[in-house]
Chains A and B, each alone.
Chain A
Amino acid sequence: MSDDPAQQLEELHPASFGWALACCRWDREEAEEVLQTTYLKVLDGRARFADRSSFRTWLFAVIHRTAAERRRGQWFRLLATTRWLNGRVREAPAPSPEALAGASEDALALRQALRELPARQREVLHLVFYQDLTVEAAARVLGISAGSARTHYHRGKETLRGTLAFRGRQ
């Protein structure tokens, strides 16, 4: 992989977009915003790669942190509006008809099952199965211990198994 950050970003772009989608519960618009902010941080020098891990692990950690910051910002904005008084917290939008048309039934069922998982479990499973990272690398991305990541990994798989089996019976 090249040393040029822009080129590295381009090479990792599809994987980064998938990770941003998972961090934003498949809200495409929000994922694009998060990815833009992340790219800006990297190219602007606000986020600097320090060679402590692979560039991909580091980039995914920046995306994760950026998504978390964005969620916090949204929450504070919600607090300041009357929408909060009505208890209307923004839900992740349903997938568009185009996305539904292009998606296989298995992928849709999996995505729906992933949506219902707790965030940590969903993120660990995504990093391991979707991004081909080890559990230890996933732990570094999420900033948690490897033991904690393993726990989330196993619990997430068990929950997914139950959810997918239940959907399969329906």
Chain B
Amino acid sequence: MSAAGGGDAGRGAEGGGPGPGPRPDLDRELREGFAALRRQEKAAAPGFSTLAQRTGERAGGRSRQPGERGTWGTRRVRPLAIAAATAAVAGAALVLVTSPWLGTHAPSGASSPRPLPSITAWRPATDFLLRTPGREILAGPPAFGRASSIGAGLGIGRPGRPGSTDGDR
């Protein structure tokens, strides 16, 4: 690996497409900075043999030849386990949704729901506010010989009753 770090970086800068063009000063500064960083990290890197040894210890007895396909245990089981878990969750959800114990369905033998009142029978809750005194007089056409509802409580307009005007005649 080259320590200069400039060749491909320069190519990268030139391949930048739209936007500000490459700035030689900035690129040079970055190349120098990254080169210093690389030197420092290279010096501090753990040895490959050390890391490989630890890797071997981690692998334990399950090391395999490079390029060999994974066994059923590593390659096949995980997708199958995920699929099985998904199927189990979906099945459980289906059972719960269709279960009669959850109350999502009407219990058998329950009375049918009350029919909704028709729109003509419906009365608003504030209907009583429209009942003004004397409204009964205007509710129907006047007729002779029939006591009006206003005078009914006082006996007005009924023959033979106290206060009746018919008896005075």
Q: Give A residues with C-beta under 8 Å from B.
A: 4-6, 9-10, 13-15, 17-18, 21, 28, 32, 35-36, 39-40, 42-46, 48, 99, 102-104, 106-107, 109-111, 125-126, 128-136, 138, 147, 150-151, 153-154, 157-158, 160-161, 164
B62 and A36 within 8 A (CB): no
A-B contact pairs, 26 of them (CB 8 A): A10-B48, A14-B42, A17-B42, A17-B46, A21-B41, A28-B44, A32-B51, A35-B51, A36-B54, A39-B51, A39-B52, A40-B58, A44-B59, A44-B62, A46-B70, A103-B36, A103-B40, A106-B36, A111-B37, A130-B5, A131-B1, A132-B1, A150-B15, A153-B16, A157-B23, A161-B26
B63 and A14 within 8 A (CB): no
Contacts of B8 in A (CB 8 A): 128, 132-134
B30 and A135 within 8 A (CB): no
B30 and A18 within 8 A (CB): no
Q: Count A-B contacts at CB 8 Å.
A: 142
Q: Which 8 A-B pairs have the closest CB atoms?
A: A110-B33, A107-B36, A129-B34, A13-B48, A135-B12, A17-B45, A128-B12, A132-B8
The number of chain B residues with a CB under 8 A from chain A is 51
B17 within 8 A of A: yes
- For the complex formed, measure the closest distance between the CB of A150 and the CB atoms of chain B, giving whole angstroms: 5
A125 to B70 CA separation, bound complex (whole angstroms):
35
CB-nearest residue of chain A relative to B69? A45
A43 to B51 CA separation, bound complex (whole angstroms):
13
CB-nearest residue of chain B relative to A19? B41
A45 and B66 within 8 A (CB): yes
A102 to B68 CA separation, bound complex (whole angstroms):
42
0/1 interface trace, chain B 3-24, chain A, CB 8 Å (1 if under): 0010111011101110110010
B63 and A44 within 8 A (CB): yes
Q: A36-B54, A45-B70 are in contact. List 7 more A-B contacts (CB 8 A).
A: A5-B66, A10-B48, A21-B41, A36-B55, A107-B33, A133-B8, A157-B26
B45 and A160 within 8 A (CB): no
Q: Is the interface of B mostly helix, strand, loop or mixed?
A: helix
Contacts A45-B67, A128-B9: A157 and B38 contacting too (C-beta < 8 A)?
Answer: no
B41 and A17 within 8 A (CB): yes
CB-nearest residue of chain A relative to B20? A154
- For the complex formed, measure the closest distance between the CB of B23 and the CB atoms of chain A, giving whole angstroms: 8
- For the complex formed, measure the closest distance between the CB of A119 and the CB atoms of chain B, giving whole angstroms: 17
B36 and A110 within 8 A (CB): yes
B74 within 8 A of A: yes
A153 and B44 within 8 A (CB): no
Q: Which of B7, B31, B33, B68 contacts A45 (CB 8 A)?
A: B68
A147 and B17 within 8 A (CB): yes
CB-nearest residue of chain B relative to A49? B67
